């Protein structure tokens, strides 16, 4: 059985209904906004401004928001049956397949983004790292790096590619004898992923982020694993932080990428299961 044949399974065994995807999204944002407002209120008692929060308050607020994504995904996934890490994509994938998917997706994303930026003459950058105070102190830098390069990739991939896309893939959209449910699910997930970055990224960069969200869905579908998605997300964030925000050299950026991937592996590795071998292999 070929890789293509094995990745055609539309749901990876989950029993999530498509309606749980938008429900989880709404629930996550309501919970995230509520939790973030509490953090801001507590920070206000210590002198933090609602419009210009201190790095600590901004970091904790961003953290609880991403944890809200995880909480919502787990809650609505539980409605469909027992929670299983493999349904979210925590499946081991061969190094050859994983690296190939990572490189093809990464090159495609960066080429398309470069063309888009050149055509529109864009020079913006994400606001979040500066809001977290990455350049103000060593503690803020470490906290920002851990959040941006480790926590955000895990939490956002678990929600968007692991759960949201996984639930929407149960759509059946027959067109000319083919089921386009997975493709439509990838497009919708990409759009939602881009819109989720409103406020943390310039408006003109929401389109490339939406395209990245779509590409990551294709990686998740083709490999049946969330790990290449998390890795690409982490590397992209590390490059953005190291180059655009901190103006680091190549050695420092490579170190950040390596350290981030090592921590991600340590945190999520225990969740992984091996891909089932093809029958008769």
| Strands (DSSP E) found in the chain | 91-92, 174-175, 178-179, 273-274
Q: Is residue 222 part of a domain?
A: yes
Residue 68 domain-assigned? no
Q: Beta-strand (E) ranges in 83-209?
A: 91-92, 174-175, 178-179
In a domain, 33, yes or no: no
Kindly report whether the global pTM for this prediction surpasses the value 0.85.
Answer: yes
Tokens of 281: 């292999």
Rounded CA gap, 21 and 77, in Å? 9
Alpha helices in 46-94 (DSSP H): 55-78
For residue 134, the model assigns a pLDDT of 65
Name the domain count of the chain. Answer: 1
Q: Is residue 107 part of a domain?
A: yes
Residue 40 lies in a domain: no
Q: Is residue 240 part of a domain?
A: yes
Buried b (16+ CB within 10 A) or exposed e, 198-226: eeebeeebbbbbbbbbbbbbbbbbbbbbb
Residues linked to residue 92 through DSSP beta bridges, in sequence order: 274
| Joined tokens for residue 76 | 């609505």
In a domain, 204, yes or no: yes
CA separation for the pair 230, 219 (Å, rounded): 10
Query: What is the rounded CA–CA span in Å between residue 50 and residue 44?
Result: 7
Render each residue's pLDDT in the chain as its tens digit; 281 residues. 333 334 444 456 678 999 999 999 999 999 999 999 999 999 888 878 777 788 888 899 999 999 999 999 999 999 988 999 999 999 999 999 999 999 999 999 999 999 998 888 876 666 666 666 666 778 888 899 999 999 999 999 999 999 999 999 988 888 888 888 899 999 999 999 999 988 777 788 899 999 999 999 999 999 999 999 999 999 999 998 998 888 899 999 999 999 999 999 999 999 986 655 444 33
Q: What is the span of the domain harbouring residue 239?
A: 88-272
CB 132 within 8 A of CB 147: yes
Q: Is the residue at 56 inside a domain? A: no
């Amino acid at each position: 059985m070929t890789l293509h044949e094995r990745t055609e399974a539309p749901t990876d065994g989950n029993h999530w209904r498509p309606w749980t995807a938008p429900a989880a999204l709404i629930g996550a944002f309501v919970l995230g906004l509520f939790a973030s407002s509490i953090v801001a209120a507590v920070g206000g008692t210590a002198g933090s401004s609602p419009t210009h929060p201190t790095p600590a308050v901004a970091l904790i607020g961003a953290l609880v928001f991403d944890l809200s994504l995880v909480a919502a995904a787990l809650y609505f996934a539980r409605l469909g049956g027992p929670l299983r890490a493999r349904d979210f994509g925590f499946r081991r994938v061969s190094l050859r397949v994983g690296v190939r998917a990572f490189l093809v997706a990464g090159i495609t994303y960066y080429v398309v983004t470069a063309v888009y930026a050149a055509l529109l003459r864009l020079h913006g950058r994400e606001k979040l790292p500066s809001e977290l105070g990455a350049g103000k102190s060593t503690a803020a830098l470490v906290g920002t790096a851990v959040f941006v390069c480790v926590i955000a990739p895990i939490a956002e991939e678990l929600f968007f590619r692991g759960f949201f896309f996984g639930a929407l893939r149960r759509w059946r959209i027959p067109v000319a004898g083919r089921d386009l449910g997975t493709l439509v699910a990838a497009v919708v997930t990409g759009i939602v992923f881009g819109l989720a970055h409103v406020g943390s990224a310039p408006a003109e960069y929401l389109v490339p982020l939406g395209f990245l969200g779509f590409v990551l869905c294709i990686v998740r579908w083709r490999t049946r694993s969330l790990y290449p998605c998390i890795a690409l997300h982490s590397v992209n964030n590390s490059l953005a932080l190291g180059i655009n925000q901190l103006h680091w050299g190549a050695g420092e950026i490579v170190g950040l990428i390596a350290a981030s991937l090592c921590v991600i592996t340590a945190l999520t590795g225990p969740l992984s299961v091996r891909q089932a071998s093809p029958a008769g292999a």
